[in-house]
Amino acid sequence: MMMASQLDDELKLFSGSSHPQLAQDICDYLDIPLGRSQTTRFANDNLFVKIEENVREKDVFVLQTARAPVNDHLMELCIMIDALRHASAARITAIIPYYFYVRSDKKDEPRISVTARLVADLLAAAGANRVLTMTLHSDQIQGFFRMPADQLSAVPLICEYFADWDLSDFVVVAPDAGSARRAGAYAERLKLPLAVGDKRRSSNHDDTTTIQGIVGDVEGKNALLLDDEIATAGSMLGLAAYLQENSDVEEVYAGAAHGVLVGPALERLARPPFKEVVVTDTLPAPEGAGNCNLKQVSVAKLFGKAIRAIHTGESVSAIFR
């Protein structure tokens, strides 16, 4: 039904500044060269992007992940999309392994922004035609998009890491009721029992929350603390400390799709009771990651397969079944 040009139907993948290694890994998997572009920062802190090869009527993908400086990377992505659109790219897919403002997904206080939705709107305004992302904080975020948005899951990748472990005395523990659904998905796949931290607002009315108990049986087990992301590891540290003090928990392992790992995170995870931390490479490993026992699982092949399916019109879900 559409017109065909015999001249070119190749796909192009460009990379923003946030994670060029992952972009290169995906290109290696796809056996294509990384698209040439250049981002300059002017003296006045304005970014300037130049796409350095022809993209007319090409099927273009741009990879950017929500790493700090977050707003620079988000704006660089918008500028790249805008440049590509006006350069007549046939279709622009934003690949965002760790989605921007993914935690700002609801209005749980008056007069705040559901910024994860605002980001969807800004990407659309810039000219993105579709989005490919991984393990959102909540599945509903997909509904923030008016354009097709594919969400890959990191859960199988993380679970696969434990494939040949003897997990017979392990239990998956979620820090609180709000994360029970996410931890439950890991538990179900690993066929492990689930426990949930019972976190309550402190009695001193200062809006902080503390764990006041564990719902479920953890005595004498090894604990797997699994969630969608680890930022400062504060929540996991609190849970691990509680488990150590109040239960006869043996070892504690932490895992998440996204290793944000900022501030005191690495330091916290390097100390007992933490034995090992498993994340994917949707974000580059932070400096000093060697200090803690951090394992990174690569998502490059998964993204590569998804990109190829999107490009050729094959089913994305079929590939990962």
Among 104, 293, 296, 298, binds its own copies (CB under 8 A): 104
Residues 6+ apart with CB under 8 A from 30: 11, 13, 304, 307, 308
Smaller CB separation from its own copies, 34 or 316: 316
CA angle 267/271/275 to nearest 5° reads: 120
CB of 24 to its own copies, least distance (A): 21
CB of 29 to its own copies, least distance (A): 18
Q: Are 133 and 151 in contact (CB under 8 A)?
A: yes
* Single-letter code of the amino acid located at 78: C
Among 12, 58, 221, 305, binds its own copies (CB under 8 A): 58
Per the listing, tokens 């402190």 go with 202
Nearest CA to 84 out of 63, 57, 64, 55 is that of 55
Tell me the catalytic residues: 199
Looking only at residues 193 through 252 of this chain, which bind its own copies when binding is defined by CB under 8 A?
Answer: 193-196, 198, 200-201, 213, 215-217, 231-232
Q: Which two tokens stand for residue 4?
A: 């065909």
Q: Is residue 3 involved in binding its own copies (CB under 8 A)?
A: yes
Q: Is residue 52 involved in binding its own copies (CB under 8 A)?
A: yes
Per-residue x/- marks for its own copies, 158-197, CB under 8 A?
Answer: ----------------x-xxx-xx-xx--xx----xxxx-
Per-residue x/- marks for its own copies, 116-145, CB under 8 A?
Answer: xxx--xx-xxx---x-------xxxxxxx-
Q: Which two tokens stand for residue 75?
A: 């704006």
Looking only at residues 66 through 95 of this chain, which bind its own copies when binding is defined by CB under 8 A?
Answer: 66, 68-72, 74-76, 78-80, 82-88, 90-91
Looking only at residues 285 through 314 of this chain, which bind its own copies when binding is defined by CB under 8 A?
Answer: 309-314
CB of 239 to its own copies, least distance (A): 15
Per the listing, tokens 């590891």 go with 233
Q: Are 35 and 13 in contact (CB under 8 A)?
A: yes
Q: How far apart are CA 310 and CA 315, in angstroms?
A: 8
Looking only at residues 261 through 290 of this chain, which bind its own copies when binding is defined by CB under 8 A?
Answer: 262-263
Instruction: Say how many residues touch its own copies, by CB under 8 A.
Output: 119
Between the CA atoms of 285, 288, 291 and 292, what dihedral angle is there, to the nearest 10 degrees?
-30
